[in-house]
Chains A and B, each alone.
Chain A
Amino acid sequence: MTEFLSGKDKTVVKSFWDKVAPKAAEMGGEALGRMLTAYPQTKTYFSHWSDLSPESAQVKKHGATIMSAIGDAVAKIDDMPSAMSKLSELHAFKLRVDPANFRILAHNIVLVLALYFPADFTPEVHVSIDKFLQNLAMALSEKYR
């Protein structure tokens, strides 16, 4: 059950993401690093990595991967379920990340957005981005059961 993204939400998300895009990779690494530090239970999904600190090259690279996928979802915001189909299968059958963690990562992404864009990440932008990330999480867990 996804939240309805209004035309306004989509415009706000797309226009804000245009600002984010040049720094997306760096911000993704930062969000993931913060999540692993502030929510240590999330480290359980990365036991195969040697370094889970915010400075880790593995963390930075994976954060960039995540943000790039989010950027793709922004571009296909009008049809997220079909755009996310492959990633949804990956998360359902291979990764099996407890969906509660999507909320945790979303919080850290939002925090990094506020940190990098303190003036632009207004409450109005925040609410549209939050709705978008919740919808994304729903699309990712769609095939879980």
Chain B
Amino acid sequence: MVAWSDQERSIITSIFSNLDYNDVGPKALIRCLIVYPWTQRYFASFGNLYNADAIKTNPNIQAHGTKVLHGLDRAVKNMDDIKTTYAELSVLHSEKLHVDPDNFKLLADCLTIVIAAKMGSGFTPEIQATFQKFLAVVVSALGKQYH
């Protein structure tokens, strides 16, 4: 079980309560698909991803980016047991979606970068450390049910 200080909890809830999910989610996913193009392999059914502009304007990607961020919400609300909260999602990503768990880290890094760009200097080194700790727990939980 992961230990969270009161300060860490408040940092995470504060970041998420100030986020526009419809903006940040898609931006993070788009960035991931452009910077790490092999991740596009999981979105073959989403339509045109042939170039950066196609990715940026693809409505399925937009919707999915928002969905991913709402998924993170559940971890924010259950910080003391992210592993159990995500057990089903982990099974889904492994058995149905067949996502290489390494990719979770790539998307997590892109999300961190998008949030840093949004928050500017308000995204202090300490806040960055806490946010990355949170995402590391999420990434680990998502990979837990793979076998």
Q: Which of chain B's residues has its CB closest to A114's CB?
A: B117
B34 adjacent to A115 (CB under 8 Å):
no
**B117: chain A residues within 8 A (beta carbon):** 114-115, 118, 121
Complex partner residue of A111 from B30, B56, B112, B121, CB under 8 angstroms = B112
B125 adjacent to A38 (CB under 8 Å):
yes
**Binding stretch for chain A, among B3-11, B13-21, B126-134:** B126-134
* A67 → B minimal CB distance (Å): 17
Q: Which of chain A's residues has its CB closest to B27's CB?
A: A123
Q: How far is the CA of A115 from the CA of B122 in the complex (A)?
A: 10
**A14: chain B residues within 8 A (beta carbon):** none
**A118: chain B residues within 8 A (beta carbon):** 117-118, 120
Interface of B, secondary structure class, is: helix
Interface size bracket, A side = 10 to 19
B129 adjacent to A38 (CB under 8 Å):
yes
**A33: chain B residues within 8 A (beta carbon):** 125
Complex partner residue of B34 from A38, A107, A110, A123, CB under 8 angstroms = A123
Complex partner residue of B121 from A37, A107, A115, CB under 8 angstroms = A115
B35 adjacent to A34 (CB under 8 Å):
no
Contact digits for A97-138, partner B, Cβ 8 Å, 1 yes 0 no: 000000000010011101100100101101100100000000
* A50 → B minimal CB distance (Å): 18
Q: Which of chain A's residues has its CB closest to B114's CB?
A: A114
Tell me the count of chain B residues lying within 8 A, CB to CB, of chain A. Answer: 22
A37 adjacent to B125 (CB under 8 Å):
yes
Query: CB of A71 within 8 A of chain B?
Result: no
**B121: chain A residues within 8 A (beta carbon):** 115
Contact digits for A54-74, partner B, Cβ 8 Å, 1 yes 0 no: 100000000000000000000
Contact digits for B110-147, partner A, Cβ 8 Å, 1 yes 0 no: 00111011101101011011001000000000000000
A37 adjacent to B113 (CB under 8 Å):
no
A107 adjacent to B123 (CB under 8 Å):
no
- Whether A34 contacts B125 in the complex (CB less than 8 A), given A107-B109, A111-B112, A111-B113, comes out as yes
A123 adjacent to B30 (CB under 8 Å):
yes
Q: How far is the CA of A38 from the CA of B123 in the complex (A)?
A: 12
Q: How far is the CA of A38 from the CA of B126 in the complex (A)?
A: 7
**A34: chain B residues within 8 A (beta carbon):** 125, 128
Query: CB of B83 within 8 A of chain A?
Result: no
Kindly identify, within residues 38 to 70 of chain B, every residue whose CB is under 8 Å from any CB belonging to chain A: 52, 56
Q: How far is the CA of A124 from the CA of B128 in the complex (A)?
A: 24
B116 adjacent to A111 (CB under 8 Å):
yes
Q: List 6 A-B contacts (CB under 8 A).
A: A37-B126, A37-B129, A111-B116, A114-B114, A115-B121, A124-B52
**Taking beta carbons and an 8 Å cutoff, which residues of A are in contact with B?**
33-34, 37-38, 54, 107, 110-112, 114-115, 118, 121, 123-124, 126-127, 130
